Amino acid sequence: MQICVTQEDIRSGRPLKPCLCPVAKAIQRMLGPKYYVSVSDRITIRQHVGSQVKWYRPFSMNVKNFVTKFDGSKHVEPFDFEIDIPEEYLCKSQ
């Protein structure tokens, strides 16, 4: 799945807040409100808050660089990245 981190994601994102990271916001926008997304040392997706079913994905280098800069309050630009999200997360009705 192609994820596009937009200027709006960056503007509304909050450094050091895993659920409000621009990367988390971009993934959340693609998956819909039924999913909980957070970004810390990895990307975590759960089917809803409190769910025991979790999916973790380590960062790619471009995502890691973006998050490090953003959390350090450095200037960042919109970017795209690919992530393999399991099919069951993509097939649920929103």
Domain boundaries, the chain: 2-91
Q: In this predicted model, what pLDDT tens digit does every residue of 22-79 receive, in sequence order? A: 999 999 998 888 888 899 888 888 876 666 667 777 778 999 999 999 999 999 999 9
pLDDT of 18 = 94
pLDDT of 69 = 97
pLDDT of 9 = 98
pLDDT of 41 = 82
Residue 85, classified by CB atoms within 10 Å of its CB into exposed (0-12), middle (13-18) or buried (19+), is middle
Q: CA 85, 77, 80 angle in degrees (round to 5)? A: 25
Q: Per-residue pLDDT for 16 more than 60? A: yes
Q: Per-residue pLDDT for 93 more than 80? A: no
Residue 78 CA to residue 46 CA, distance in Å, equals: 25
